Amino acid sequence: MNIVKVWLLALRPLSFTAAVIPVLAGTAVVADQNFRPGLFVLALIGSVALQGGTNLVNDYFDHIWGTDTADSLGPSGVIQRGLLSPRAVLIGGFVMFAIGAAIGLVITAFVGWPVLVLGVVSVIGGYAYTGPPFKLAYRALGEVTVFLLMGVIIVMGAAYVQVEQFTLEAFLASVPVGLLTAAILHANNLRDIQDDRANHKLTLASLAGRPIADYELIALVLGAFVAVGALVITQDAPVTTLIALLALIPALRLLAMLPRSETPRSLNAVLAGTAGVHMLFGTLWALGFAIDAWVS
């Protein structure tokens, strides 16, 4: 395998939708007020760079803490298979963080220091997710962290890049996005309950066990759709965003798989399905705001 393919494997590009969707949503929320295509592209690239850095740093520390092994289903496996050294993966993570930070500085030059603050918080959060001394993912704080970083902060940050102010509308629009991003992580932790317990990694799933952890996933997924209805009813989101409810069909199909998914490999399909629902919902959610802006 050539070095480019190895690094693509390490970066886990399929996970980048978790970084792309909130930027799309945050930009679309304020599209009726302003749209700066150049800054949008920079925000998108910066968000993906931070996601890639987080993936690499997390793979490094999960390897160091003994959570990821050659038999693990979740990680890229580049360390376990000897394709990259742990040190190279960690350095790669810091390089991706540096790229994201550099892009953040460029954006800051155009729209001001609040973007810099959000960028710093995102980098620290990406490192602290599994890195010492915080190890947030090991203290049952993963879902909360992901909800805030990959939901609230990116959506509001992307909106700020366009209109240079933090808005209540952007915050409210970030809630369903954050819930589904947290659902992806929770589905991952559902699959890894046995391994996490064996390695003393505390997650909501490993603490609660099944079937309670199943109900938590159901609440996160369906909570996003409930939020859509509530925001439209209160007129905090335009009626065109109801298009996002089309994602409810695959969401219900996904949740119906839970009782029959007992092995880590079968739960891997639940994880993939959750990521798919997040991508479809987020795309439709952003499209609903964009349609309203175009009509307006």
Q: Name the residue ranges covered by the structural domains of the chain.
A: 3-295
Q: What is residue 78's DSSP assignment? A: T
- Region of 100 on the Ramachandran plot (φ > 0 left; ψ -120 to 50 alpha; else beta): alpha
Q: What is the pLDDT of residues 111-146, one digit of tens each?
A: 999 999 999 999 999 999 999 999 999 999 999 999
Contact 205, 188 (CB under 8 A): no
pLDDT at 294: 94
Q: What is the pLDDT of residues 19-39, one digit of tens each?
A: 999 999 999 999 999 999 999
Residues 6+ apart with CB under 8 A from 88: none
The label of the residue with tokens 């909360």 reads: 144
Residue 1 has pLDDT above 70, yes or no: no
| β-sheet bridge partners, residue 139 | 202
Residue 73 has pLDDT above 80, yes or no: no
Q: What is the pLDDT of residues 258-295, one digit of tens each?
A: 999 989 889 999 999 999 999 999 999 999 999 999 99
Residue 188 has pLDDT above 90, yes or no: yes
Three-state secondary structure call for residue 213: helix
The fold of the 3-295 domain, in CATH, is: Farnesyl Diphosphate Synthase (1.10.600)
pLDDT at 89: 96
The label of the residue with tokens 């959570």 reads: 67
- With a threshold of 0.85, does the pTM exceed it? yes
Work out the pLDDT band at 77, boundaries 50, 70, 90: confident
Share of the chain above pLDDT 70, in %: 99
Q: What is residue 70's DSSP assignment? A: T
Copy the structure tokens of residue 198: 């064996």
Residue 51 has pLDDT above 70, yes or no: yes
Residue 70 has pLDDT above 90, yes or no: no
Q: Average model confidence (pLDDT) for the chain?
A: 94
Contact 24, 293 (CB under 8 A): no
Between 67 and 225, name the one with better pLDDT: 225
pLDDT at 68: 81
Q: What is residue 290's DSSP assignment? A: H
